[in-house]
Amino acid sequence: MPDFPLWPQCNIGCVFCSNPVEGYRHTTDKYAFEEIRRKVFDYKRGLQTFVKFDEVRDYFNLTGGEPTLHPDFLKILALIRTEFPQNLIRLLTNGRTLADPDFARRTCGIAGLPFEAAVPMFGGDAKSHDAISRTPGSFAQTSEGLRNLARHRKPGQIVEIRIIMTKVQARFLDGLLDYLLAEFPWVDRVVFLYEEIEGFAELYKDRLLFSQSECAAHLDRNYEKLRRFKDARLYHFSLCTVPTRLWPHVWNTLAGFKVTWLDGCRSRCRYREQCVGVHRSYQRHLGAPDIAPIEAERPVTLSGDPYHPVLSFDGDPVRA
């Protein structure tokens, strides 16, 4: 899964942004179409091209900044689709540009299949959403962008909403979920990501960080709402920090180099094979205080799939 940054600038200012603080936003000269075209062809020839996940060759994450702000975004999308007709293209966008219906229609048309758009939402109203994006008007535009994706996507194109779980976000979580269930029940997937503290976010880490188990408790409080989404997923959580009834929602997506294991993981944890491990930034910033080996069996059915290890919870959900 190469992360393919297309454009360093962004049109929102999230407090948890993982982009570098210095020397990134004003490097647009490195992202000219010809430079990106060269990278695409180098990658096709098997050369080392991307910083992150270069070795995984079946899909692209188009990132930034905000990738759709690139002046030649649609041309780049067409190039990637032509050169890699089978690969999944996942567009990580804040959705504001998709508020233009013509741009949304052309993006969906050019992207073809397989294609996913992943859009973050922060709050269930303008006040809460715009407080996190730090951009007035972004709630209305991102919401309209999602509606345009619903109108213009082709059969088989996937729309995902991402919720970046920080301490600030948790305050707005319940209202956000109510809004999503009422306005966007058609979305294919809602992903809750435990925040990786990197880049700009490090400046605000005291306001952002809380433990994984505190974070999981906020999600667990909304257990019934999570179950109403077509597909609700938790990314970047160690299994021991998550109530068992949420385990079927846990997906393992962290790259190996981002993960470490603690003593008890290797020697005493019954679910070591099913667990993603401990994120290095979690250990560095918080000391991973709630990581504890699971010694007793839990009432779950395992899937054998390392990415989605737990098929079902078989206990009493009220007492999980």
242 binds ligand SF4 (CB under 6 A): no
Nearest-approach distance from CB 236 to ligand SF4, in angstroms: 12
Q: Judged by CB under 6 A, which of 293, 302, 317, 320 binds ligand SF4?
A: 293
Work out whether 177 is an interface residue with ligand SF4 (CB under 6 A). Answer: no
Q: Give me the least distance between CB of 218 and ligand SF4, in Å please.
A: 19
Binder to ligand SF4 among 240, 259, 300, 310 (CB under 6 A)? Answer: 240
Q: How far is the CB of 54 from ligand SF4 (least distance, A)?
A: 27
Nearer to ligand SF4, 219 or 240 (CB): 240
Here the tokens at position 165 are 């779980």
Residues in region 95-134 near ligand SF4 by CB under 6 A: none
- Among positions 180-239, residues that touch ligand SF4 (CB under 6 A) are 238-239
Stretch that binds ligand SF4, among 106-114, 148-156, 271-279, 307-315 (CB under 6 A): 271-279
Total site size for ligand SF4, rule CB under 6 A: 16
Query: Phi and psi (nearest 5°) for 89?
Result: -105, 120
Which residues of this chain interact with ligand SF4, rule CB under 6 A? Answer: 238-240, 262, 264-265, 269, 271-272, 275, 277-278, 291-294
